Homo-oligomer: A and B are copies of this chain.
Amino acid sequence: MYEYQAPLRDMRFVLHEMLDMPGHYARLPGYGELTADVMDAIIEEGRKFAVEVLAPINHSGDEEGCHFQDGAVRTPAGFADAYRQYVAGGWPSLIGDPAFGGQGLPVSLNVVVNEMMGACNWAWTMYPGLSNAGIECIGAHGTPAQKNTYMEHLITGKWTGTMCLTEAHCGSDVGLLRTKAVRQADGSYRITGSKIFISGGDHDFAENIVHMVLARVEGAPKGTKGISLFIVPKFIPDADGNPGVRNAAVVGSIEKKMGIKGSATCVLNFDNATGFIVGEENTGLAQMFTMMNFARVGTALQGLALAEPAYQSALAYAKDRLAMRSLTGPKNPDGEADPLIVHPDVRRMLLVQKAFTEGYRAFLYWMNQQGDIVKKGDAAAAKEADDLMALLTPIAKAFVTETGFECTNLALQCFGGHGYIKEWGVEQLVRDSRISMVYEGTTGIQALDLIGRKVLGSGGELLKKFTKQVHKACEAAKADPVLAPFAEALAAKNREWGELTMHLGGKAMENPDEVGAGSVDYLMFGGYVVLGHVWLWMARVAQQKLAAGEGDADFYRAKLATARFYFERLLPRTLVHAAGVRAGAAGVMDLPAGHFAF
């Protein structure tokens, strides 16, 4: 089993030195009391909960898995108790609306806590994580009565929530869904159908579960235009708001999965269940995206959360395990061999993990800082931040999870055969991280969202705003001889991103398949530019601190060394992705479907 140390020094670097969070909070209404000390105290409490409560039940939760008995889910030993401690500690309500019992803290602080909890036990964090779907959606689109009934219970964690979108025959293509809603005289609906892959669809954590269910009202238009969203509580709240009659929403079975085995993935059967519509009929798709955008940013975090403990484990092993002598002569002459970390290829694997993981942290914390501005900034700033989030969300979701899976695999590789056995816990991180590229929209879906809806859909505007920022940062860094090579490399790729966009945009008019054929390479190209942007940013901060003689010089020198590795060995991967974008559709589309195998 792995031992996780919260990377507090690196977190502080990003929060304070790169993003100046206390200054940022001071500029936003309602966050002014969040001084550095208060931030530190909350992070420290979150760390304790993660390490002391969640980590000890991570491996055992994977081994034991969930149980399905008598129509109900029993979670692995310790999971329900951990949830009670979580609620008692006030963690569910951190970012919740104070009008409904929330603490009103910024998402940019919550993400730090979530990173640590996720690193210690991703499967467990999925239960409370899904509650946010209901909170976001009812908060944005619910009636005052619905808010009164559900918001406080969800925010305080007394109840939990789910997202019920997928059916056996349709996932990404949600317009095909068949779950039916029939309007009743009292304004409620009867919901009938079957949903699959419902994370936290049942459990033994809380007294009620609020399912957010996509269904089609009788007579509604076909496709996505005829979808509505319903609140379907496990127990229908009575007049006092307490769990009342058991609703006809029952678990049919749970899935056996590759990983995240502590998280119950349920088939949920609705048989004339009572549902309450959110907003108007046939506006469910927009409401789904309210939930989904939140879920996608949360899934991006999985890439970071699992790569960090994987890296820590691999690093500890590489320092401890003796094998072979260094190619340049013994480094541990008194031992029978040198530690693995003397070997260049082991260092390469560690540095890939380090450069990605620290890059993800900077990227995602920065994105969450934009999330604060969307929520609390003035209209103009909120619009800018929202545009940036719109562009970066599919990149964060797909790029961080794809390369995050690479990181957990490289960590396993550093262990050799010991990585493949369960003892060290790293193979669990590989299995747990594999789902991240799939759920809440696969990498392919994110890529179409990026190039289609976000980039071409905005006539290139969203992208231009971002590449302009990158361009400015590169210009500013060019004068510094240490930063100049990074800035030049990044500036070239940033320009090329624009060129690739023009290229695909032009081709799209002739043949939309050109967009699809290059879409994932396009997204990955963009991901390396975005990570390059935050790496240049971090390098500039480190360089300034070194020049000023402030703080721990070794830390800043390590930052610069990792930045160098990023620009030398990871940014060049854009070469292949650019080739993929430019290769065109014919090579992908010309082979008839019947000729893929003979």
Whether the Cβ atoms of A348 and B176 lie closer than 8 Å is no
A515 to B10, CA, bound (A): 32
Q: Which residues of A417-449 are within 8 A (CB) of B?
A: 417, 419-423, 427, 430-431, 434-435, 437-439, 442-444, 447-448
Are A517 and B171 CB-contacts (below 8 A) given A176-B323, A312-B597, A416-B438?
Answer: no
Whether the Cβ atoms of B173 and A337 lie closer than 8 Å is yes
Decide if A341 is an interface residue (CB 8 Å cutoff): yes
A324 to B351, CA, bound (A): 40
Whether the Cβ atoms of A257 and B422 lie closer than 8 Å is yes
Interface string of A63-85 (1 = CB under 8 A from B): 00000000000000000000000
A587 to B350, CA, bound (A): 12
The distance from the CB of A310 to the nearest CB of chain B, in whole angstroms, is 13
Residue tally, chain A, CB below 8 Å to B: 103
Chain B positions within 8 Å of A327 at CB level: 512-513, 515-516
Identify A413's interface contact among B312, B416, B437, CB under 8 A.
B437
Chain B positions within 8 Å of A409 at CB level: 405, 434
Chain B positions within 8 Å of A312 at CB level: 597
Decide if A258 is an interface residue (CB 8 Å cutoff): yes
Whether the Cβ atoms of A344 and B513 lie closer than 8 Å is yes
The distance from the CB of A23 to the nearest CB of chain B, in whole angstroms, is 24
The distance from the CB of A207 to the nearest CB of chain B, in whole angstroms, is 29
Whether the Cβ atoms of B348 and A258 lie closer than 8 Å is no
The distance from the CB of A6 to the nearest CB of chain B, in whole angstroms, is 11
Considering only CB atoms, which chain B residue lies closest to A567 in the complex? B587
Give how many copies assemble into the complex.
2
Interface string of A132-171 (1 = CB under 8 A from B): 0000000000000000000000000000000000100111
Decide if A27 is an interface residue (CB 8 Å cutoff): no
Decide if A557 is an interface residue (CB 8 Å cutoff): yes
Decide if A17 is an interface residue (CB 8 Å cutoff): no
The distance from the CB of A509 to the nearest CB of chain B, in whole angstroms, is 12
Decide if A580 is an interface residue (CB 8 Å cutoff): yes
A444 to B112, CA, bound (A): 35
Interface string of A254-270 (1 = CB under 8 A from B): 01111100000100000
Chain B positions within 8 Å of A511 at CB level: 328
Chain B positions within 8 Å of A430 at CB level: 258, 434
A354 to B597, CA, bound (A): 9
A348 to B512, CA, bound (A): 15
Chain B positions within 8 Å of A572 at CB level: 575-576, 579-580
The distance from the CB of A489 to the nearest CB of chain B, in whole angstroms, is 11
Decide if A585 is an interface residue (CB 8 Å cutoff): yes
Considering only CB atoms, which chain B residue lies closest to A331 in the complex? B593
Decide if A583 is an interface residue (CB 8 Å cutoff): yes
The distance from the CB of A4 to the nearest CB of chain B, in whole angstroms, is 12
Are A420 and B576 CB-contacts (below 8 A) given A337-B173, A593-B339, A596-B354?
Answer: no
Considering only CB atoms, which chain B residue lies closest to A63 in the complex? B256
Whether the Cβ atoms of A564 and B587 lie closer than 8 Å is yes
Interface string of A334-353 (1 = CB under 8 A from B): 00110101111111111100
Whether the Cβ atoms of A345 and B520 lie closer than 8 Å is yes
Whether the Cβ atoms of B558 and A348 lie closer than 8 Å is no
Whether the Cβ atoms of B438 and A417 lie closer than 8 Å is yes
Decide if A7 is an interface residue (CB 8 Å cutoff): yes
Decide if A555 is an interface residue (CB 8 Å cutoff): yes
Decide if A565 is an interface residue (CB 8 Å cutoff): yes
Decide if A217 is an interface residue (CB 8 Å cutoff): no
Decide if A393 is an interface residue (CB 8 Å cutoff): no
Chain B positions within 8 Å of A256 at CB level: 421-423
A552 to B346, CA, bound (A): 49
Whether the Cβ atoms of B345 and A516 lie closer than 8 Å is yes
Decide if A172 is an interface residue (CB 8 Å cutoff): yes
Whether the Cβ atoms of A347 and B589 lie closer than 8 Å is yes
Whether the Cβ atoms of A176 and B322 lie closer than 8 Å is yes
Q: What are 7 of the A-B contact pairs (CB < 8 Å)?
A: A176-B322, A255-B423, A327-B516, A413-B443, A564-B587, A565-B587, A569-B588
**Lowest 3 CB-CB distances: which A-B pairs, in order?**
A344-B516, A327-B512, A258-B427
